Chain A
Amino acid sequence: MTRAAQDHLVEAAFESVEDVRSAVEAALESGVAASQVEVRSPAPLEEDELPLPKPKSRVLLFALAGAVLGGLTAFGLAAGTALAYPLPTGGMSIVAGPPVGVVTYEGTALGLIIMTVLRVLWEGGLLPGRAIRGGRGRASELDHHVANGRLLLRVHGLSEEQAGRLRGLSRASAVEVV
């Protein structure tokens, strides 16, 4: 079978999570792989509400890396400026604890915050130029349903027969199917 023949897309908007779950279960039973299924929702869903693989995130890891990076940079700035232009300290240390501590503390927080946000945008495909695999995240003509509180099921890479069957199954409970 050619790639074009396997490239049908079915989209259906539903009122409730139960309806989407039924449609997803039907799709999986008909031989559709979980990686072909995408559900868009107006609010976060619980992890076990749909029979799909749980999304993974490395935001925490990147946040910690950002904190370390930010802390080291801030320490370098505070200590480096003190050493680059030493002020008369009356015998006290040039690189003093309180100022370096305060600046390092703020730098750590800043690094953590910026890296967290960047990673969230990266994982969500929200950064400019970020490639979106398999048509995921692309605009849909049914997106307005999500804006109005409904759920949207999108199944990619279907054969014509699979697409027709899925459309038929979805029509029973969906608000709109394309």
Chain B
Amino acid sequence: MTDRPQASARALDGELLGRLDRRRSGLLVGSLASGVLVLVFFYCWGYQIANGIGVTGINRPVFWGFYIINFVFWIGISHAGTLISAILRVTKAEWRRPVTRSAEAITLFALAIGGLFPLIHLGRVAIFYYMIPYPNSRMLWPNFRSPLVWDIAAITTYIIGSALYLFLPLIPDAAVMRDRAAAGLKKRFYAVLALGWRGTAQQWHSLEWGIRILAVAIIPVAVSVHTIVSWDFAMTQTPGWKSTIFGPYFVVGAIFSGIAVLMIAMALLRRGLALDRFLTDRVFNNLGLLFVTMSLVWGYFTFAEHLTVWYSGDLFEKNVHHVLLHGDFAVPFWTMVVVNLVIPVAVLSFPRGRRPLPTALVGCGVLVGMWLERFLIVVPALSTPRLAYSIGDYLPSWVELGIMIGAIGVFACLYFTFTQLLPIVSVWEMREGWRHAAGGGESGQPSGAAPASPAAASPVAGGGAA
């Protein structure tokens, strides 16, 4: 290890800790603004609990409305983190280091919100435990026959796995925060999270084993979750839903929307916390390439799905297909195709398009497009049933709209709070990357960071309480 890379790594280390210590007013404003939406969320949900499910626009034949659309949407977003982070860890992609923590946090919060929507959809949320198998007073054991019950098993596994997958690599960073914090409540908070971590060889060895195993284990769990969510639809006889490719189609869509949220969050963090030298253009370029690849894969699945339905000649399937492509739902359908396929490919195919601002804007479009995709899966199929006399319509009520917008606030509030309390960039993983780069005698430039500026090359005070 030469002196120069080591000094550069030390400087970057100090700079990263300094960036994470500094509290930004933007984050506080973001937390407060999203806090207002949190109130909207709970007001609307409370109103529905008090007045019953009749306050929504859900009615015969469209029994699944905004709540199920949002359930699928948020579960999809949850694939941002754990799956992407796990794949990048398993493939040892060095540029993953500044991204993983943020991605894992997105997963956990999106899952928590996604998991709420079926409960909201139940209406009488207090009796949700009827779905859990337990011997009740009449010895009625709920069976695991329905994909809706499989959802409970899959989402429970995924949320526990994601929480632990976020927590385990967070322990060393909590210890860093503990040892840098001045005595008081803050220090005690970090001490609880750090669980007595000291950075011994045994602790690192066990942690690395644990992360490696979790990274491998969480990938099939993530895939299974969205596959099972797709079976909520595909296991029925409803035209427009009964499809053999729904499983992989949903998984691809989930990863696609997950990357979209990740791109937006990374761009905001880079700007908000001035992390330009850690969330570098290279990170955005690589994520942008992954993003455009997923856009093309999504486009292929969409084409395959609609081509087989069109070619089948099945009358009921073609009715649903017709309203999608040429009927009442044509505008959202073609908007979805433009924002999910045309724009990402047009923008992200060029290196200039894979910078923070363009990728974040494309990500916003993709989120709209992926929400529309879920809307177009749920509503047209239910409003165009086999029996012509039961054709119906669906218009969401203000309660559903309020809950949907409020959920975005809940997510933002959780994410901003997490960013304020804990290092959103994994400090120890960055350090490990710098050590690898310096020890490997590459260019002397630590990985995951932009070339050191003269200011950064100056000695950085490592000590000092936060």
Contact = CB atoms under 8 A, between A and B. Distances in A.
Contacts of B172: 42
A145 to B, nearest CB: 8
Interface residues of B, number: 68
Contact of A110 (B14, B157, B201, B210): B157
Contacts of A106: 150, 153-154, 156-157, 221, 224
Size bracket, chain A contacts: 35 or more
A145 B153 CA distance: 44
B157 to A, nearest CB: 4
A55 B133 CA distance: 43
Contacts of B209: 57, 59-60, 120
21 contacts: A17-B1, A42-B427, A43-B428, A43-B435, A44-B204, A44-B428, A59-B210, A59-B213, A78-B144, A84-B141, A85-B140, A99-B149, A102-B224, A102-B228, A103-B144, A110-B157, A110-B161, A113-B221, A116-B214, A124-B200, A149-B13
Given A18-B1, A44-B432, A99 B143 contact: yes
A74 B156 CA distance: 13
B175 interface: yes
B282 interface: no
Given A110-B161, A147-B175, 7 more contacts: A42-B176, A42-B428, A45-B201, A60-B213, A84-B135, A99-B144, A120-B207
Interface string B111-154: 00000000000000000000001010001111111000110011
B142 to A, nearest CB: 7
A17 B165 CA distance: 29
Contacts of A147: 175-180
Interface in A50-85: 50, 52, 54-57, 59-60, 63, 74, 77-78, 80-82, 84-85
Contacts of A150: 462
Interface of B: 1, 6, 10, 13-14, 17, 133, 135, 139-145, 149-150, 153-154, 156-157, 160-161, 164-165, 167-168, 171-172, 175-180, 195-210, 213-214, 217-218, 220-221, 224, 228, 427-429, 431-432, 435, 439, 462-463
B463 A126 contact: no
